Structure 1
């Protein structure tokens, strides 16, 4: 298997190390699981209906910011790798969401509407995360 982040004379595919990538992938699974459990608990409260859906989506925006810094801390990423790190985490969370929706939608609660609402909420959070990571990405000084 080829190391995508090797330090050989060939150009690296990613500017981070393999252990960092593995930490990011594991973080993606963990954050998806956290979101799935949270959405399962909140779903019966009607968060996918009417104006509650709007408030759910709005609250995801500020609620995502701490997770961006958490991702950077877990993988020990420099601020210039914020987007890359969040993109890897988000990609893994979306993969988990797709698998759950296809083969185990009951993870999100009872009924198709609940599973669809939870899946859509996770996708919204993924998009918000990548967008905010773009805003928080910083190039090194010097």
Structure 2
């Protein structure tokens, strides 16, 4: 693979993996040039799910530790506290209207992906968070 394909949603990732309507912000970037992300789809998810600082439980977190097994999507993640549904307004979102800001954030996300892929030596399905401009990798599993 010579490219990274990435998707972003506001709030909790459940709106991406669950049966929530709308599209995520999606983009590709060449591994040889992470500073030129190309947006392939603009977001249209009408709501974002948000939670106060809490604990997330998995219905079976051990299954993803098995060699060659990716349990993505097979098990539930349950937040200790109820999430709040927020109506999203992309017309004021810097990630959709401010191109220099967009390039900066998307390039840094792609760089984090490249680092994680380099550590494991093969493509990864990576989940992360951008909070106050800082990128956090939450989990990574083989892309199979």
TM-score, reference length from structure 2: 0.23
Higher strand share: 2
Higher helix share: 1
Which entry has the higher C-alpha Rg, 1 or 2? 1
